Structure 1
Amino acid sequence: MPRSYTFTHAITRRPSAAIVDGLRAVDTGAPDLALMLDHHAAYVAALKSTGAEVIELAPLEEYPDSVFVEDTALCLPEGAVIMRPGAPSRLGEAAEMAPHLAALYGELRRIEGEDSFIEGGDILMTETGILVGRSARTNAAGVAELARLTADWGHRVHEVHTPPGVLHFKTDCSLMDEETVLATDRLAASGCFAGYRVIPVAAGEEAAANAIRFNGKVLFPAGFPRTRDRLVKAGYDLTEIGNSECAKIDGGMSCLSLRFTPAR
């Protein structure tokens, strides 16, 4: 089974009331917590519908962005690597996630370099390697340390670059299957997906690029009909989920979960 999108487990964290203080590149208003909770519940239900075990963690009021658990770790079949987020206010989130992953994995490694920063939102796991985008949140030292930590597990890390002004590499792309990615034109133009079939996001719907393939489903943000139709035409089974409130604090489908099959 494809290891890059076939999983037995996921971890999510319920949004806290502190979400109104979440980081954002542009202030478009505070998220509506009640609506975000509804969207989050639909997201969790979609994950569970594939047969996966979903571990739902309690809110962390001291960390406004902690609903975005993907940035805290990279979960591989052989073990998990705890990240070192590039946003100083988020460093404690990774430490909070570590014991939950330690309970599931036989081996846990950590990005520890004082000058190393890396977030899960910049990491795209494929069947042939790990693409890591340099960004404002992920630097060269973080990428190099991840490469060292995963080399003996047989993984090859490929450093690529996130477009200027884009928060994370996966803000602009998603893995659809072993051979296919969904991507914005601005990211695909860099050539980082050479050898893959690229389904382009419709013009004006760039925010649709952050979706996730999770077992047999694609969890897709609602409100992007032209890109949705392209994926349906290509044969994917989509579940559309509201993302209006997460988007106000730069979040998307992939940010809301860690997806993995743990090995003991």
Structure 2
Amino acid sequence: MPTALVRRPSPRLADGLVTHIERTPVDADLAVRQWQAYVDALEATGWTTVEVPAIDECPDGVFIEDTMVVYDDLAVIARSGAEERRPESAAAAKTVEGLGYRLTDITEPGTLDGGDVLKIGSTVYVGQGGRTNEEGIRQLRDALAPLGTDVRAVPVRKVLHLKSAVTALPDGTVIGYEPLVDDPAAFDRFRPVPEVAGSHVVLLGEDRLLMAASAPKSAELFEQLGYKPVVVDISEFEKLEGCVTCLSVRLRR
């Protein structure tokens, strides 16, 4: 059964980092309800969720995907390019280790955020930009090499993370809102979508795509392609450059 790590939002969520968009007020109470609806959507589609201990002192802790990169039985524990986010990784690492995964760490001077990593089969795209540096990518490449991966660095300048710009459909096609994608040609197959939030999908299995309510035109496009959107409202997390991918770590073995 597929498993997802999640972490409850901090009461300080509204103080989270914002880099590429203007700050707007965040309703922390609504965010908690939206987070629960996100968890419920995962569980309703056959996923088991494992809650990592909350870290209330870190406003961005809910964006748990940034704490690690998981491939096969290995969890590469990230070292965020945002120093204030680095404490978020410890409890997440302990949790995934308790589920039977091997651990390795990104170490100084390397930086890596999990949100910069897009896995498509054995190809692993890594966004090099504000949060992930060249040394972090080198360390990730070395860690994943024994597992037969092809790690490819791609530029990220227009958005916070690579997966702020692109994710992938079940057939491996990379999707993104083209004005925010630095180099569409970096991907083997690329399909533009009509909305920013349409760039972000979580693959739930059986052609189901978890995606945000703020991308109805993209949902219609995916339906036309034969996929089944599972729509959640994550408006309060979008105000902090969050999306459906960064609210969980998906584990499949």
TM-score (norm 1): 0.90
Deviations along 1:99-145, one digit per CA (max 9) or x if unpaired, are 10110124111111x11001011100011311101110011000001
Distance 1:87 1:188 in 2: 21
CA deviation after TM superposition for structure 1 residue 91, in Å: 0.6
- Letter of the structure 1 residue corresponding to residue 192 of structure 2: P
Q: 1:152 to 1:42 in 2, by over 3 A?
A: same
Q: How do 1:179-190 residues align onto structure 2 when only pairs under 5 Å count?
A: 179-186=172-179, 187=181, 189-190=183-184
- For the residue of structure 2 that corresponds to 1:255, the secondary structure is coil
Distance 2:150 2:16 in 1: 33
Aligned to 2:247: 256
User: Is the 8 Å Cα contact of residues 79 and 105 (structure 1) preserved in structure 2?
Assistant: no
Deviations along 1:168-225, one digit per CA (max 9) or x if unpaired, are 111111111133222122427531122x2x33111xx223212211223211111222
Q: Tell me whether 149-158 or 60-69 shows the greater mean CA deviation.
A: 149-158
4+ long deviations beyond 6 Å: none
Distance 1:193 1:150 in 2: 19
Distance 1:166 1:191 in 2: 17
Q: How do 1:176-215 residues align onto structure 2 when only pairs under 5 Å count?
A: 176-186=169-179, 187=181, 189-194=183-188, 196=189, 198-202=190-194, 205-215=195-205
RMSD value, Cα: 1.6
Aligned to 1:69: 64
Aligned to 1:120: 114
- Letter of the structure 1 residue corresponding to residue 85 of structure 2: R
Distance 2:101 2:54 in 1: 26
Which ranges of structure 1 fall in alignment gaps of 5 or more residues? Answer: 1-6
Q: Tell me whether 25-34 or 233-242 shows the greater mean CA deviation.
A: 25-34
Q: 1:127 to 1:178 in 2, by over 3 A?
A: farther
Aligned to 1:172: 165
Q: Which structure has the higher relative contact order (CA within 8 Å, separation 6+)? A: 1
User: Is the 8 Å Cα contact of residues 126 and 178 (structure 1) preserved in structure 2?
Assistant: no
Q: Which of the residues 113, 116, 138 maps onto 1:144?
A: 138
User: Is the 8 Å Cα contact of residues 69 and 256 (structure 1) preserved in structure 2?
Assistant: yes
- Letter of the structure 1 residue corresponding to residue 145 of structure 2: A
Q: 1:210 to 1:179 in 2, by over 3 A?
A: closer
Which ranges of structure 2 fall in alignment gaps of 5 or more residues? Answer: none
TM-score (norm 2): 0.93
- Letter of the structure 2 residue corresponding to residue 80 of structure 1: A
Q: Which of the residues 48, 68, 91 maps onto 2:86?
A: 91
Q: How do 1:214-229 residues align onto structure 2 when only pairs under 5 Å count?
A: 214-216=204-206, 217-229=208-220
Q: 1:51 to 1:101 in 2, by over 3 A?
A: same
User: Is the 8 Å Cα contact of residues 15 and 59 (structure 1) preserved in structure 2?
Assistant: yes
User: Is the 8 Å Cα contact of residues 182 and 209 (structure 1) preserved in structure 2?
Assistant: yes
Aligned to 1:243: 234
- Letter of the structure 2 residue corresponding to residue 254 of structure 1: T
* Matched residues, number: 250
- Letter of the structure 2 residue corresponding to residue 76 of structure 1: Y
- Letter of the structure 1 residue corresponding to residue 238 of structure 2: A
